[in-house]
Amino acid sequence: MPDSRPTLYVCHGDDEGPRVHPCRRVQEALRAKGIEYDKVIAAHGSPIPFLRKGSRDELRAATGDKKLPALKLPDGTVLKHSKAILSWVSEQPDNRAQAAGRS
């Protein structure tokens, strides 16, 4: 049975980046709605390609792109770019009460 949680691919900035950073914003939005997700830090170093450490080939294999953030839904659909992810999050039911009941 496939995992029922989406997988969020983010850069190394993660939750500690500036508030305007797309990887941080999508994580905050997911948590605000109580949406559980698995997280993969898929890139380290600079967002500028020639300053990056390592390659993003694994990210491309998983999501079809080398851009972050990306959200892979349980059905295999991949949402690329923060605007698409934030739009999807806004359409989801608020699960905060359910998430609180599980803790």
Domain boundaries along the sequence of the chain? 7-92
Identify the CA nearest to 4 among candidates 27, 36, 30. 36
In percent, how much of the chain has pLDDT > 70?
76
Return the structure tokens found at 19: 């508030």
Per the CB < 8 A criterion, the answer to whether 33 and 94 are in contact is yes
Return the structure tokens found at 86: 């934030």
What pLDDT, in 10s, does the model give residues 11-54? 876 677 778 889 999 999 999 999 999 999 887 655 555 555 55
CATH 3.40.30.10 fits 7-92, yes or no: yes
Count the residues in the chain: 103
The predicted model scores a pTM of 0.81
In this prediction, residue 88 carries a pLDDT of 98
